[in-house]
């Protein structure tokens, strides 16, 4: 194949992102703005925002829009955050209801300035959604909580349907990109999360089994280090 032929090759359909800024997209964007909420779609400059908003869905960010970490791979605003709004949880639930969501995904900026890392707000948001929309499932994508096990228990006690956490498996890469993390402590918390979820709901029975199998298949030797945050108090 010649160089000219190679240049003429088009990208596969799954690699192309076509903007979808239709009426539904504008409706969701206006709703987020009017209710004073934040979404990953907007704050992280996600290229798939058109697809999600047009489907009347979004991943909500709680605890404000300013992160205390200085991760270079993330486009969310970084710095010293202000006090968070306690009424935010009810507004998130209200937005989920207006959008007719059957499953809500909630994440947050990292708040190293808070003793519990924002665990109480995660728990409050989960309960608000379930109270307002009994049929709506809730997934929480939580930060590392600075390795605070008690904070993790607070979140688990709110009974989320799915608990998730972004984990930089290759620590050598994470150290160069992510400013401040306590993954060793969070690793110790994984068994706790698995056991609590298994004992609480039968549908989580396979959670711990899957996690163990996943960890066993990892051939990389993890070397965890604790780094101080770039921002915060």
DSSP string, 131-200: HH-TT-EEEEE---GGG-HHHHHHHHTT--SEEE------HHHHHHH-S---HHHHHHHHHHHHHHHHHH
Do the domain assignments include residue 137? yes
Do the domain assignments include residue 7? no
**Number of structural domains found in the chain:** 1
167: left (phi over 0), alpha (psi -120 to 50) or beta: beta
Do the domain assignments include residue 6? no
Is the separation of the CB atoms in 138 and 126 below 8 Å?
Answer: yes
pTM of the complete model beyond 0.75 = no
Report how many helices (DSSP H) and strands (DSSP E) the chain contains, helices first: 10, 5
Do the domain assignments include residue 223? no
Q: Rounded to an integer, what distance in angstroms lies between the CA atom of residue 181 and that of residue 70?
A: 11
If pLDDT is split at 50, 70 and 90, which confidence band does 105 have?
A: very high
Mean pLDDT score, 98-107: 95
Mean pLDDT score, 51-63: 94
* Total residue length of the chain: 233
Do the domain assignments include residue 78? yes
Share above pLDDT 90 across residues of the chain, in percent, rounded to a whole number: 42
The boundaries of the domain holding residue 130 are 16-217
Give, for 59, the enclosing helix (H) or strand (E). strand 59-62
Averaged confidence pLDDT in the chain: 76
180: left (phi over 0), alpha (psi -120 to 50) or beta: left
Beta-strand relationship, 137-141 and 103-108:
parallel
Share above pLDDT 70 across residues of the chain, in percent, rounded to a whole number: 67
Do the domain assignments include residue 2? no
Do the domain assignments include residue 165? yes
Do the domain assignments include residue 225? no
């Amino acid at each position: 194949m010649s160089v000219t032929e190679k240049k003429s090759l088009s990208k596969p359909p799954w690699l192309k992102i076509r903007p979808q800024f239709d009426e539904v997209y504008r409706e969701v964007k206006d709703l987020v703005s009017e209710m004073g909420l934040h979404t990953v779609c907007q704050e992280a400059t996600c290229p798939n925002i058109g697809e999600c908003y047009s489907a009347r869905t979004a991943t909500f960010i709680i605890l404000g829009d300013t992160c205390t970490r200085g991760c270079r791979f993330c486009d969310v605003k970084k710095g010293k955050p202000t006090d968070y709004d306690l009424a935010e949880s009810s507004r998130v639930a209200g937005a989920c209801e207006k959008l007719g969501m059957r499953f809500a995904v909630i994440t947050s900026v990292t708040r190293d300035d808070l003793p519990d890392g924002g665990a109480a707000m995660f728990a409050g948001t989960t309960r608000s959604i379930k109270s307002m929309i009994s049929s709506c499932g809730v997934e929480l994508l939580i930060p590392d909580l600075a390795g605070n096990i008690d904070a993790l228990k607070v979140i688990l006690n709110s009974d989320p349907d799915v608990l998730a956490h972004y984990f930089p498996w290759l620590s050598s890469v994470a150290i160069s990109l992510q400013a401040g993390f306590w993954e060793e402590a969070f690793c110790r918390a994984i068994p706790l999360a698995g056991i609590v979820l298994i004992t609480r709901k039968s549908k989580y029975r396979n959670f711990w089994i899957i996690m163990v199998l996943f960890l066993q298949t990892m051939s990389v030797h993890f070397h965890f280090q604790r780094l101080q945050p770039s921002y915060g108090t």
